[in-house]
Structure 1
């Protein structure tokens, strides 16, 4: 009988904790309008930022392709914007 009583108490405490946690989550989570406002403010939504990220990816890909095609250690270049063709000073 004591075991049943303890398990009911533990179940009630766990249920109460889950209920409090769920209630806090509902209170803290943003609404739909607030979510839309946050999405508009994200840096990825700015066209200039997207273009800059695309250009950076292009430069990295070009550098990797050039590194794969040459024996030069392109990581030691002082100016990454200039293509190889020998050792860069």
Structure 2
């Protein structure tokens, strides 16, 4: 009987904790309008930022393709963007 009582108490405490956690989540979570406003404020939504990210990815891809096509260690280049050789001192 004592074991059943303890199990019921533990179950009630876990249920109460889950209820409090759910209530706090509902209170803290932003509404749909706030979510939309947050999405509009994200840097990825700015067209200039997206173009810059695309250009950066293109440069990284070009560097990786060049590195794959040559035996030169491209990590030692002084000017990564220029594509010229040369080791730093």
TM-score, length of structure 2 as denominator length: 0.92
After superposition, what is the alpha-carbon deviation per residue over 1:29-80, rounded to whole angstroms, capped at 9, x for unaligned?
Answer: 0000000000000000000000000000000000011111111111111011
Q: Which residue of structure 2 lines up, in the alignment, with residue 54 of structure 1?
A: 54
C-alpha separation in 1, matches of 2:45 and 2:5: 56
Question: How is 1:6-85 mapped onto 2 (pairs within 5 angstroms)?
Answer: 6-84=6-84
TM-score, length of structure 1 as denominator length: 0.92
Equivalent pairs, count: 87
Using the TM superposition, give the Cα deviation of residue 88 of structure 1 relative to its aligned residue in structure 2, in angstroms: 2.2
C-alpha separation in 2, matches of 1:23 and 1:82: 57
Residue ranges of structure 2 left out of the alignment (5+ in a row):
none
- Runs of 4+ more than 6 Å apart: none
